[in-house]
Amino acid sequence: MLSLATWNIHKGFSQFNRRVVVHELRERLRLLDADIVFLQEVQGQHLKHPHRHRNWPDAPQHHFLAEECWPHHAYGQNVAYDHGHHGNAILSRFPIVSQHNQDVTHFRFDQRGLLHCAIAVPHIPTPVHCVSVHLSLFGGSRKRQLAALVDRIEAVVPADAALVIAGDFNDWRNQADALLAQRLNLREAFAATPGQRPAKSFPARLPILRLDRIYVRGFDMLERSAHHGGAWAGISDHAALFARVSACSALNDGVLSAPTEALQ
């Protein structure tokens, strides 16, 4: 079995930037207890925050959040400014054997990236390819970014390799599902059966939009949950999503067939 989580962590601040919550966020991540964590809006560096907030961690956020639980982690810078930068991260209990951050910025003022890691997961014969994404708020830009994502995966990831793509897609119209199913044989964790749709994840206090996703290939779905409201809503404006999966027999045999809906 393999457990997965994705969360847009809002740079470690509560909604509307009212207070630093990165310490509470770390405790919540530990409660999720996922093997691989996909994070967005991770503060890699900020030169001003340590002087403004006495509880600001000394280490970059992905180091701080991974401490003691996820010995392997990667960070991909998306947005740079005079006093720092932020981007996507992946935290893993298992070794990251390679990593690559791809710039998929469409507009200069809306910088975005795809962090792609290959992870050596026990009992799975070849590395699991994992991509943490944070796509644009603009529909035209999202379309280009999804195309870039699919092109990269088709170019560098074997068609029979296990694949997880998770993050903040900003895709409230649910246009990514069909493309990712048809081109990459991916299923969304919360829409794995016909008639279901991705989980509502924004805003975290009372979600109405389906922005965050976990897409998988080569795995059977065992469990999934969205964490919002209550204490979760006081940490980020996005809900945290969790899924538990098991490697399907076709993955172990080295043969993955396309789902029925992708063949129609």
Question: What pLDDT, in 10s, does the model give residues 47-91?
Answer: 566 557 677 677 888 889 999 999 999 999 886 677 866 789 999
pTM summary value: 0.91
Contact by Cβ (8 Å): 109, 118: no
User: What is the residue whose two structure tokens read 């109405």?
Assistant: 208
CATH fold for the domain made of 2-253: Deoxyribonuclease I; Chain A (3.60.10)
User: What is the residue whose two structure tokens read 């959040």?
Assistant: 65
What are the residue ranges in the chain where pLDDT is below 70? 12, 14-18, 44-51, 53, 56, 79-80, 84-85, 194-195, 250-264
Residue 12 is predicted with a pLDDT of 67
| b (16+ CB within 10 A) / e for 33-56 | ebbbbbbbbbbbebeebeeeeeeb
Residue 259, class by beta-carbon neighbours within 10 Å (0-12 exposed, 13-18 middle, 19+ buried)? middle
Residue 10 is predicted with a pLDDT of 86
Give the integer Cα–Cα distance in Å for 50 and 73: 23
Residue 106 is predicted with a pLDDT of 77
